[in-house]
Amino acid sequence: MRLRMPLTVALIAAFFVVAAALPAEACGGLVAPDGAVRLDDTTTLAAYHDGIEHYVTSFEYNGGPTNFGSIIPLPAVPSSVTRAGSWTLQRLEREVHPVVPALAFAGSEKAAASSVGAQVILQTTVDALDITVLKGGSKGVVQWIKDHGYFVSNDAPAMLDFYARRSPYFLAARFDAAKEAALGQQEGDGTPIEITIPTASPWVPLHILTLAKIPQAIVQADVFLLTDRSPILLGIDPGVTVQASEPASASLLSDLRSDKNSSWVPPSAWLTYISINSEASNLNHDLAINPTGTGLPSAVEAGYFGTVAAAGTAAGFHPLVQPGAPGAPGGLLDGPGALAVAVIFGLGLVALLVGWVAYVASRRHLPTVGGPRR
């Protein structure tokens, strides 16, 4: 027994040593070594509180010509366009996909006629991004884009007209090749920006994600909402799914608030996670939001023009699947973590079995009261 019990203790100790040595879910790894953002899919945060919309997204540098750019429909004149926190979007992705080892709004101002030329409202630079906020109709904005060297796809005029019917404001962003080189940006790096917009009726532009795509192309994106209450949504097209809806955890809000330029994150909020995995031909509307959770959002804000809008969808309460639960995305029993869990579990069983065998064997060799065993 004196020989067997230390072996059992050693095996049990080894079990805990192996468990401690496995990599834990770290807070690091949210930002690339060069400080740039890295995201697999398009990710957007739309936070709405006290009549102010904070729209956070990332523009990805894909190399290639200087004239590469993007455009975001806006609801109204933004009060500011600044660099967003360095890892806010990644932290939100980590919340719903744990790892182991523009918005647009309806304002009182009507959209400009499509023949009106574009007016520059705001210009700024964020890292290697040259950003211009424009006001104008679809024809005016398209002409401005062409005049400034942007590539214009065949479907761009109709797409911009779809948005100009609601709001005449657009944000154009383009990477500057010289600044990219100076910052050491590489292909796949992204620059996060935050657009702050006072508005009474928030919506997230989803239809714009289909720009320059064939109908069969798959659009994948993640949208996160932070609102005071569980919202009601309109514009849930096929392939647009509310994956989670629950009070945001204190740790998440604290992490978001600690990021650069993110002191606006409220002390409490409702988190809604919406996943988009849809063919471009099905993504025909935008996501209109009633942040109070009472009443339907505007059908016009969702892009229903002269058609009967679908019924609104209450985000309701859909808790996130906790890491470690079977089937949890990125959870402990999913992907690379599965092997580690199997090894730990196996060592634990072996340790318990060896301990039991040693105990039974020791009992059989103990002298019996009243004389030796027969």
Q: How far is 296 from 289, CA to CA, in rounded Å?
A: 8
* Residue 249 pLDDT: 95
Predicted pLDDT of residue 62:
64
118 near 135, Cβ under 8 Å?
Answer: yes
Phi, psi of 47 (to 5 degrees): -110, 130
| Model pLDDT, residue 17 | 29
Spatial CA neighbour of 290 closest among 206, 232, 225, 228? 232
Q: Determine contact, residues 256/262, Cβ cutoff 8 Å.
A: yes
How far is it, in rounded angstroms, from Cα 161 to Cα 128?
29
Q: Is 161 exposed, middle or buried (0-12, 13-18, 19+ CB in 10 A)?
A: middle
Handedness of CA 301, 305, 306, 309 (dihedral sign): negative
Identify the pLDDT of residue 331.
Answer: 39
DSSP secondary structure string for all residues of 328-368: -TT-TTSTTHHHHHHHHHHHHHHHHHHHHHHHHHHHHTSPP
Write out the E strands in 205-247: 218-227, 232-234, 240-247
Q: How far apart are CA 253 and CA 364, in angstroms?
A: 60
Q: Is 1 helix (H, G, I), strand (E, B) or coil?
A: coil
Q: Which residues of the chain fall below pLDDT 50?
A: 1-40, 65-67, 101-115, 323, 326-339, 368-369, 371-374
The whole-model pTM stands at 0.72
Quick: pLDDT tens for 221-260: 999 999 999 999 999 999 999 999 999 999 999 999 999 8
Q: How many CB atoms lie within 10 A of CB 150?
A: 18
Residue 275 host element (H or E): strand 270-279
Contacts for 154 with CB less than 8 Å, ≥ 6 apart: none
- Residue 31 is predicted with a pLDDT of 37
pLDDT at residue number 291: 92
Residue ranges per structural domain of the chain = 4-24+331-364, 42-314
